[in-house]
Structure 1
């Protein structure tokens, strides 16, 4: 296990403390909609199939079975029927499958979110599209704009490389944009087909962990500027955001990209870094708004896995039930990378909507190593 020494952030002034206070600007989350592939499998059903893909014939499967049993995942959705994965062959075929499935799921997610918000595709002024599990040029957003019926002058921003943090970072960047464009409507689309990155005949621990934890799906979020927002739905208001990079931790998470495509990097030291270093920047962010962790009633946390969630709970001194919504999402669909935190946010609607006026904190972590915080109010 390799964990670098990290500079103590406590001595560093925050960006907010170095700048004069700006006028308050808010963004309303008008809708969140998740789209899942139709191919759904129970976790124990996937275990042996993934063993067939990743392990040599006759290899011991005890570690694989322990990993699958320990993730807290009960079921996952896959982009393709499980029987098709063995025949994908090379990266090109996997990426072609990614483009086809990503476009279908992305269209479902965005159309569903706009319908939920009572808007038309022509109302969208900015479309941000994130994925880290495949590549396309023209990008997914360019291909989807016409399929969905968006205006030819819609602004587009394709994003690659943020990984699991992108759901939170994407919402934060939508907020940044809408603060300067208060009459606009912006959409964030995250599409992650993690199963198509699984490496065949690779029995490394990182590949086996990914095969036990990650699922496929897409999620779209509609956000509106303060001049046009209507507080008629379940969604919260974004009050502020904060990004944080942890020095000398680039090796902890990401891809090694080669002829076989994306080979996952997941360092065993991630929970330790979270446990020791998440608390300081998050508490500083809350303090800049006169808040503490005790003021946050709703925690919308990316489901990095059981060990990461335990580390988050310990680092912030949270009661175990604070992350129940995250654990429910993990059990139902697995870790869908950037789409997961939006799936968790969607779970805080309808009967589970927080009490109006209460504070929430949406957060995720990802390659960099980094974290993103979004302060919400219902």
Structure 2
């Protein structure tokens, strides 16, 4: 039997759709009219902690987007996702020094669009991957999808001894909803943006982030606090303001007891924190509950400010921003369930 290999992240890349807009312009040039100047909506946009976002669909130019059928939105998903995904995976492979034909598994995580043949199959074909490449599509997990997906591809690399690629790609701008005074919907429109991020994992590589462990907890009693429902007018987000309070109850135990303690570590010994920036309050709660230094979450705040919440790619984008220091790194993300996933990485 083959000895398990060490799965190591050796390449990474991320890209955005072409349209990048300031938060202020999005409000002034589309959402102010969309919400009929609602003071609550204006305050939510102004206090989001976001200065700019990238989108595949610019609502200022395609003002009728909130009335698009789900079918039309899915057609646009494929038009936008294939070239964005191809560019991102190609760059990640190039950074790892690998060719598409070297890849043993391609995993794709996305909750903002669906098609069959899937995005994974289309990309494998366009990139020239082997007809024998294994593929995995991970859908409808939301913002935390990158971490369990990372665990899945790491397990493949460890057991099969072959390289793997994980692509997380979300186009939330496809799902602008009709005007409403529902605060949860307004918050979603103020936070979410589009991006793609990819990582390459290789067996027993000499340099990169080794994936050491992945843990999770789901609070089933709060499953209704986050939702992503398919409707006739695209996918509709439900996002309760209670989410940070629930997260506060679990993050300390998950990180200290489930992730770090079995490896003889404490939060004080962690040298890098890649925390999904679901919003300013989410990051504040993580910092408070883990008693982190003020600068520990700078990368997360930076991604939130410059890119918005891009759902599943976001934590991988934060990971790319971390300073290159030795020692353990924690990657963490949250989503529907309410679910918290965390991974322990170690620079090799």
Q: Please indicate, yes or no, whether the TM-score normalized by the shorter chain is above 0.5.
A: yes
Moved more, 38-47 or 276-285: 276-285
Q: Please tell me whether residue 114 in structure 1 is matched to residue 83 in structure 2.
A: no
Contact 1:252 1:265 in 2 (8 A): yes
Instruction: Give the distance between the partners of 1:30 and 1:213, measured in 2 at CA.
Output: 30
Instruction: Give the distance between the partners of 1:273 and 1:26, measured in 2 at CA.
Output: 34
Please, which of 214, 218, 225 is the counterpart of residue 252 of structure 1?
Answer: 225
Q: Deviations over 1:208-241 (max 9, x none)?
A: 1111111101011101122xx242xxx3111111
Instruction: Give the distance between the partners of 1:86 and 1:95, measured in 2 at CA.
Output: 17
Please, which of 120, 139, 142 is the counterpart of residue 118 of structure 2?
Answer: 139
TM-score, length of structure 1 as denominator length: 0.87
Contact 1:50 1:211 in 2 (8 A): no
Q: Please tell me whether residue 329 in structure 1 is matched to residue 303 in structure 2.
A: yes
Q: Please tell me whether residue 269 in structure 1 is matched to residue 242 in structure 2.
A: yes
TM-score, length of structure 2 as denominator length: 0.94
Please, which of 57, 62, 67 is the counterpart of residue 39 of structure 2?
Answer: 62
Task: Please report how far the alpha carbon of residue 276 of structure 1 lies from its aligned counterpart in structure 2 after TM superposition.
Answer: 1.7
**Secondary structure of 1:248 counterpart:** helix
Instruction: Give the distance between the partners of 1:174 and 1:335, measured in 2 at CA.
Output: 24
Match of residue 337 from structure 2: 368
Contact 1:25 1:239 in 2 (8 A): no
Match of residue 282 from structure 2: 308
Task: Please report how far the alpha carbon of residue 136 of structure 1 lies from its aligned counterpart in structure 2 after TM superposition.
Answer: 1.0
Task: Please report how far the alpha carbon of residue 367 of structure 1 lies from its aligned counterpart in structure 2 after TM superposition.
Answer: 1.1
Instruction: Give the distance between the partners of 1:287 and 1:213, measured in 2 at CA.
Output: 34
Contact 1:28 1:225 in 2 (8 A): yes
Instruction: Give the distance between the partners of 2:277 and 2:331, measured in 1 at CA.
Output: 12
Q: Deviations over 1:124-150 (max 9, x none)?
A: 100110111111111100111111110
Contact 1:53 1:201 in 2 (8 A): no
Match of residue 151 from structure 1: 130
Match of residue 251 from structure 2: 278
Q: Deviations over 1:282-302 (max 9, x none)?
A: 211211111111111100111
Q: Please tell me whether residue 221 in structure 1 is matched to residue 193 in structure 2.
A: no
Contact 1:216 1:336 in 2 (8 A): yes
Instruction: Give the distance between the partners of 2:230 and 2:30, measured in 1 at CA.
Output: 21
Task: Please report how far the alpha carbon of residue 52 of structure 1 lies from its aligned counterpart in structure 2 after TM superposition.
Answer: 5.3
Task: Please report how far the alpha carbon of residue 262 of structure 1 lies from its aligned counterpart in structure 2 after TM superposition.
Answer: 0.8
Match of residue 29 from structure 1: 9
Q: Please tell me whether residue 128 in structure 1 is matched to residue 107 in structure 2.
A: yes
**Secondary structure of 1:99 counterpart:** helix
Instruction: Give the distance between the partners of 2:34 and 2:78, measured in 1 at CA.
Output: 23
- Unaligned runs of at least 5 residues, structure 2: none
Task: Please report how far the alpha carbon of residue 86 of structure 1 lies from its aligned counterpart in structure 2 after TM superposition.
Answer: 2.1
Instruction: Give the distance between the partners of 1:84 and 1:203, measured in 2 at CA.
Output: 23
Instruction: Give the distance between the partners of 1:81 and 1:307, measured in 2 at CA.
Output: 27
**Distance change in 2, residues 1:282/1:25 (3 Å):** farther
Task: Please report how far the alpha carbon of residue 35 of structure 1 lies from its aligned counterpart in structure 2 after TM superposition.
Answer: 1.1
Instruction: Give the distance between the partners of 2:206 and 2:267, measured in 1 at CA.
Output: 29
Aligned residues: 342
Match of residue 48 from structure 1: 28
Task: Please report how far the alpha carbon of residue 48 of structure 1 lies from its aligned counterpart in structure 2 after TM superposition.
Answer: 2.5
**Secondary structure of 1:222 counterpart:** strand
Match of residue 339 from structure 1: 313
Q: Please tell me whether residue 292 in structure 1 is matched to residue 266 in structure 2.
A: yes
Contact 2:26 2:60 in 1 (8 A): no
Match of residue 152 from structure 2: 173
Instruction: Give the distance between the partners of 2:140 and 2:58, measured in 1 at CA.
Output: 27
Contact 1:54 1:203 in 2 (8 A): no
**Secondary structure of 2:271 counterpart:** strand
Contact 1:91 1:260 in 2 (8 A): yes
Task: Please report how far the alpha carbon of residue 84 of structure 1 lies from its aligned counterpart in structure 2 after TM superposition.
Answer: 3.8
Task: Please report how far the alpha carbon of residue 25 of structure 1 lies from its aligned counterpart in structure 2 after TM superposition.
Answer: 5.3
